[in-house]
Structure formats: structure tokens, C-alpha cells
Amino acid sequence: MFPFSRLGVACLLWVSVLVGLPGKSLAQGTGTVIGSTVDTEANQPLGFATVFIAQTTYGTMAAENGSFKLPNLPAGKHELVVSYLGYETVTYAFTLQPGQELKIKVGLTPKPNALQEVVITKDPHWRENYAVFVKHFLGNSVLAKKARILNSEALYFEYIPATNVLTAEASEALIIENKELGYKLHFLLKEFRADFKNQKIFHAGYPRFEPMVAKNEGQRKRWEKARLAAYNGSVMHFVRALHTKTLRQEGFSVRRLQRLPNPDRLPEAQIQAGLKRWRPKGRIAIVQSSSNAQTQDSLNYWFQMSRVDKIMEVVHNDLVPYENMVQREAGSNLLLLHFQDFLQVVYTGEKEEPEYLESRPFMPNRKPSFQTSVLSLLEPFTYLEPKGMILNPYSFLVEGYWGWEKLAEMLPLDYAPVSE
């Protein structure tokens, strides 16, 4: 499921913005952000804070006097993230015009417990919880198996048996080395929640990509090939194709999917009543042989009925027209995603990884086929970012192949595909 790793957080902290005049030296289509970071309680400059544009390779560290500069940013919508150990993270969404110089003053407030004594107790289940976290955070793909978290000691977990929910927090940004894609990912984890009872996994945060330097031309080409493979068929690829109305050209087929009550299954109350009536008292398992053939046949019938799927899926034959998926918001140029039921998204450009089929042990054995995902909305609509992102991570749910792919496949929003 889950989606993607980005969270817009409403802060009580302050960010003051001064819009400067367009800089003459800036290239067309780009702009610059100039700013400073301040401790709001001491009213003093806060040096060496981390400043970056969420889910991109654009970032820097504030100087000792708190000043920072992000030049040559592409024009468009961005989310600035400012973090410092022991302080609340600040985010600020803005739109940068071509040639604009945007001046920002960012105030950071110490976390409430930053100055309190912290007592750390050893978690006897840390290793097993960490293994679960890695599986659902990085994933189980070929890329995920080769990626690693360099500072795993920053993680701590809480598991609640009553609800079968595992949550995770991190005392600092997680540093994830992805040598197969050529990135070091710095991830400010805001939330991780694995709800095993309802089979939903969600994580959100602020990722910053640090490109690695290739040792030689061969490594650079391998990175380009791996990045293109990760991009093809991804949510980023799909959203960009929606914006440009090139779904079919890019290899996507989108159909309406409905989930309806299965007419072949009797009502649940009737099934339970049948099992209760014919199941031998004091015995849970089905009796393999019985002197009463009618009892045995009736019990087997109700047991088989209890295993019939409650929901059946109906996939419509016709492709979903663009106007039934996306619309321009009145009064703005924002593109919003809105559709009926579910979307079945099939990407025909690549086959499934064998590891994906291995992760579905209860499914019939078959050969890898086209990558098939399901997209649903948790809200009436959600906004799409032209660079390839669904803006609100709480507004949608992904299943199937997209739900299987995790952080190890994530690319920065400023990634541009390089054809082979």
C-alpha cells in the first residue's frame, strides 16, 4: 500500500517571506531561494541547519550565521524543509516564478522534550521489529535487498498486541544508502504505522536525495539504467503521464475496477448459523470420517461456503477517459484526481519481478506478467503535482505492484529519464 513518503505538516512555527525582484543573472525557468534560520526562543541565528526541497536533490546546510541559498531551482511548486536536531522540523510550500529571488526567514522552535532527561531502555524485540520495518519501509525487491540503513540505531519501535499495530520513530534523519540507484537518501521519518489486522502499511516523511559520485563511466551508465527501470511504471511515471495525457504512449492502461458483494456467497449470519448447527459439539476441526454422512456433508458445505470470497472484483473493458480521472480546478491551474470506485493500472512496459510473485504465497503459481496496481482515493479528490507526485499522502491508497514497491525504488522529483 502506501504510498509515498511525503507529509505536509501544519506547524505552529513561523516563516516570514519577502519576495525579491527577479534576479537578472538567473536563467529562464529557474529561480533562487535565499534565507536564514533563527531560534525563535532565543531570537538568535541558528547555524548549520539542514535546508532542502522535499524529495529532490536540491539542498544545503545553513552557514554559522544561519544564512542559506538554494540557486537554480526549477520554477514551479516546491516544499522547503528545514530541520535541526532537537528542534521541530519546519516546512513551507511555495511557488517559484522564473527569474524570481525568494527571501525566506525560517524560525525553528526547540522540541518540548529536547531539554528533558531521556531514559533509554533496551528493547528485547528490537531486531525482529527492525526486520519488519525494513521489509515494509525499504521493500523486498532486488533494489531493496541491496539498500541499507546506515544509522539504524536511531530507530525505536512500539508494538501493541491488542491492535496488532507496529509503529516506528527515529531520533534523527535516517540515512539510506542505495548503491544500485546511486543515491544516499536522508529521510526525516514523520510516521510509520504497520496495521497488520487491517493489512495497511503507511509511512510518511521528508526525503532528501544526495547523488553519489560515479567511480567511472560504467557505473554511471548502470545507475542510469537502474533509475530508468525504477521510474518505468512507477507512480511518478503515471502522474507525469496523466499531466501530459500520454498514458497509452507511456505504456499505461487504466480501467475502472469495482468491488462488489459476491453473489455466490451466502450472508455471513447464515453461514455462521450453519456451521454452529452442524459442527460437532466440543470439536473445532472438521471431522474427516463420520457415521452420519448427512452431518459430514452439511458441515463441509458450510465450511466451503465460509471460504468463498466476500468481495468480487469487476474490471470494465473500456479504458477510463482522462475527463473521468482528472480535472482542472476552477480558478486555478491545479490538476486534481477524481474518479469512481477504483482504478486498475496496468503497465505493459515491464514485467513483474519474480520477488513480487514470491511475496504472494497464497496466490496461484504463474509466470511474471505485466505490472498491475490498484489506486483508490480516501478523500473525494486529491491534487497532482506535475513533477510526478500525489500531493497528500493521506488521500490515496495503492495496492498490487505499487503497494509492493517501497522506498528503495523512490526517485527524486527532479529526476529526468535518460533513454538507453
Q: Flag whether 302 is in a domain.
A: yes
Strand-strand pairing, 155-160 and 15-19: unpaired
Better pLDDT: 230 or 279? 230
For residue 350, what pLDDT is reported?
Answer: 94
pLDDT at 288 over 80: no
Instruction: Give me the domain span that covers residue 279.
Output: 266-307
- Give every CB contact of residue 57 below 8 A, 6+ residues apart in sequence: 208, 209, 210, 211, 412, 414
pLDDT digits (tens, 9 = 90+) for 45-61: 999 999 999 999 999 99
Q: Are residues 292 and 363 in the same domain?
A: no
**On the CB side of 147, how many CA atoms lie within 13 Å of its CA?**
28
Q: Is residue 80 in some structural domain?
A: yes
pLDDT tens, residue by residue, 181-201 = 999 999 999 999 999 998 889
Q: Higher model confidence: residue 4 or residue 305?
A: 305
Contacts of 355 (CB under 8 A, 6+ apart): 140, 141, 142
In what helix (H) or strand (E) does residue 317 lie, and over which residues does it extend?
A: strand 311-319
Same domain, 96 and 242: no
Closest among 1, 96, 18 to 56, alpha carbons compared: 96
Q: What would the mean pLDDT of 208-232 be, rounded to a whole number?
A: 97
Q: Which of 108, 138, 168 is where one domain is finished?
A: 108
Domain for residue 199, yes or no? Answer: no
Amino acid at 354: P
Is 203 domain-assigned?
A: no
Cβ atoms of 133 and 157 within 8 Å: the answer is yes
Say yes or no: 317 and 376 in one domain.
Answer: yes
For residue 127, the surrounding DSSP H or E stretch is helix 126-137
Whether residues 249 and 360 fall in one domain: yes
**Where a domain ends, among 108, 133, 152?**
108
Regarding whether 386 and 289 lie in a shared domain, the answer is: no
Q: Are 159 and 191 in contact (CB under 8 A)?
A: no
Residues 376 and 254 reside in one and the same domain: yes
Average pLDDT over residues 295-305: 83
Reported as a single tens digit per residue, the pLDDT across 234-272 is 999 999 999 999 999 999 999 999 999 999 898 989 989
